[in-house]
Amino acid sequence: MESTFFAHPTAVIDEGCTIGKDTKIWHFSHVMPDCRIGESCNIGQNVVISPGVVLGRNVKIQNNVSVYTGVVCEDDVFLGPSCVFTNVLNPRSAVPRKDQYRETLVCRGASIGANATVVCGHRIGRYALIGAGAVVTHDVPDYALVVGNPARQQGWVSEYGHRLDFGPDGLARCPESGQEYRLKDGKVERI
Strands 111-112 and 48-49: unpaired
Domains by residue range for the chain, with CATH: 6-91+98-157 (2.160.10.10)
Distance linking the first and last C-alpha atoms of the chain: 46
Mean pLDDT of the chain, nearest integer: 97
- Distance in angstroms (rounded) separating the CA atoms of residues 94 and 130: 33
User: Which pLDDT value is given to residue 68?
Assistant: 96
Q: What is the pTM of this model?
A: 0.96
Asked if omega into 175 is within 30° of 0 (cis), the reply is no
pLDDT band, very low/low/confident/very high, at 3 (cuts 50, 70, 90) = confident
Those residues with Cβ within 8 angstroms of residue 149's Cβ, 6 or more apart along the chain or in another chain: 133, 134, 135
Those residues with Cβ within 8 angstroms of residue 12's Cβ, 6 or more apart along the chain or in another chain: 29, 30, 31
> What are the tens digits of pLDDT across the range 71-129?
999 999 999 999 999 999 999 999 999 899 999 999 999 999 999 999 999 999 999 99
Asked whether 153 and 146 are in contact (CB, 8 A), the reply is: yes
- Distance in angstroms (rounded) separating the CA atoms of residues 54 and 43: 13
